[in-house]
Each structure stands twice: as structure tokens, then as C-alpha cells.
Structure 1
């Protein structure tokens, strides 16, 4: 993974908390590469935007309780679960449960 320390602005959460975006890098997980993943101060998680998946030639589908990241052939690569209004993807769970990953 490459990482660049660079202040890119701020992100506002649903509770009106504001945190700084302090840098970005590419995230390689198995055979999936997601570019420009933001590092947000104090968050403890990586943030992706739908646009980042599209820029990596992936498609995103949202359902009521889940989201799916697919390649252009329609194969599901990642699955996220919805909790309140936030969709989360647990990459560690995905790696242990799926033959997609070549770690």
C-alpha cells in the first residue's frame, strides 16, 4: 500500500461531528485494488466512496440491508451490511469466508 500524508479537507458525520481527512492511499485486498482510500483522523476505519469503486472498474448495488461490490462481469467481490444509515464492509470476514481472495 502506498500512502500520502496530505490534508484534503473534512468529512461530516450524521451526528454533526467533523473530522479531518489527513491523507490517502491505495488499498490492496487479495486481488481487489481500491484507489484513493481516505484516512480520516480518529475514525479507525477506511472510507470509500461509490466513485472510488467505479474508478476501479467495479459496480456498486445497494439493497435495503446490504450492498454489493461487483466486477464488470457481475461477479460479487465484496458484500457490505447496513447498520442504521451506514453500509460497512468487513474485509477480514470476507477474506475468511470467500474464495475470491488470494492472500
Structure 2
């Protein structure tokens, strides 16, 4: 189709609108700032490719391309709180053993989760964190500066808590949340 003529490609325009609406819904539900829109759209696309079944083929897009059923055990609630074990050297005995971060999607290159670090404002890919899907990041506003600094985590309904499991991206590796959060101490 010609440039700047969306009316010539209605199917793709509708698909793009679906992704934008899904991203807006995820950002609104988690009350995350709007600068995370790209992560939300990528997550919506990732989930759609593994969950929506085409009527014509009776399979998901992932199944059509890879010739196997997708693993959806590792799906997480967008915007949920996650805990990552501190790996820096000056952690000390009395400092926190883990950092609280926010889940914002799935890695494109690795079998890992995309995590947003509020303190450094960086996105990182990790595979060994614990997710608490019962708590999502809630901020008082969606302003970029205030929402990250004034965040408070709130409980969400019980229906989402059943979705939280400790399965990882790899089917072979099963970790319990206690192993990740509570490392053994020699005190």
C-alpha cells in the first residue's frame, strides 16, 4: 500500500489497533507510566502469538511456525512485582538481599523475562527471579517522574493469584520462590 494511506490496508490497521488497545489496557490495569508502551505492545504480541487460535488452521501462530505447541506456563501478569537477588559485591550482611522490580515482558533474544529497574531506569533480561502476581505496581499518577518515585504496591483479586506459578521459562528447571528469595546465610 502507498505511504500514509491506512485505508488501503484495513486488516493490518485493525491488528495494530488491537495491539495498541491491549497495551493500553495492560498499562492502565498495572497503572504503569506511558513510556512503557513499547514493552506493553511487544508483550501483547508475544501473548497473542501463543494463545489466539486461528479458526482456519485450528492452531496458534506459534504452532504454525514452529510445528509444536507453545509453552505458556511461564506467562506472568504484566506489571507485577518481582524480586531479584542482589548480585553486587557491597551487599553486606544487613543490606537487602533482593531488589524489587517490575515485570514488563519477555526477552526477544533469550529465554528470559524483561524486568524494569525503577532505581536505574533500565530494562534487563533475567530468568531467575520470583514473581508476586498478587501485587502489581500502582502509582498515584502516570507522570513519568512521579510514578516511579511514589510507587505503592496494591493487592489484586484472587483470580490472578491462581495464575502465579513458580515455573520458569525452561520446562526442565523448576524453582520454588523460597529458593530464590531466601538465600542461606552463614550467621
Q: Larger helix proportion, structure 1 or 2?
A: 2
Normalization by structure 2: what TM-score? Answer: 0.21
Normalization by structure 1: what TM-score? Answer: 0.33
Q: Larger strand proportion, structure 1 or 2?
A: 1
Highest RCO, 1 vs 2 (Cα 8 Å, sep ≥ 6): 2
The structure whose Rg is larger is 2
